[in-house]
């Protein structure tokens, strides 16, 4: 009887420990998502301040601080302005520029 009780207690303790460990990474993932969303918003705000760039033609996505710009711009100057604006934003670790100049 004592062995059954001890085994049950040990299983309950292991289950509790496993649940506690599982909740740790979720918090980090959630905070990373928050940081990436904040960085995306900052990049979009920076792009809005560039007169040669139309934000409605650009998709901005951030994952772990790496920003991807995709879409179309009207000129090579607008392409460079968008790239430079994104790189200046706090929290941006790298920029993958997939923008294309409209023909």
Instruction: Delimit the domains of the chain by residue range.
Output: 27-101
Task: Determine the topology of domain 27-101 in CATH.
Answer: 3.30.1340
CA distance 63 to 6: 46
Torsion of the alpha carbons at 53, 59, 64 and 65, rounded to the nearest 10: 0
How confident is the model at residue 46, as a pLDDT?
A: 97
Strand 66-73 relative to strand 94-101, pairing = parallel
To the question of pTM greater than 0.75 for the whole model, the response is no
Tens of pLDDT, residue by residue over 45-84, are 999 999 999 999 999 999 999 999 999 999 999 999 999 9
User: 55: Cβ–Cβ under 8 A, 6 or more apart, which residues?
Assistant: 44, 47, 48
């Amino acid at each position: 009887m004592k062995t059954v009780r001890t085994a049950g207690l040990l299983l309950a303790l292991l289950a509790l420990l496993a649940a506690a460990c599982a909740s740790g990474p979720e918090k980090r993932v959630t905070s990373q998502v928050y940081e990436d969303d904040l960085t995306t918003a900052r990049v979009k705000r920076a792009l809005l301040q560039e007169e040669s760039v139309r934000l409605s033609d650009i998709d901005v996505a951030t994952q772990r601080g790496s920003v991807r710009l995709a879409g179309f711009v009207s000129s090579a100057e607008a392409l460079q302005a968008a790239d430079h604006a994104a790189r200046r934003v706090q929290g941006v670790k790298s920029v993958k520029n997939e923008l294309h100049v409209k023909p």
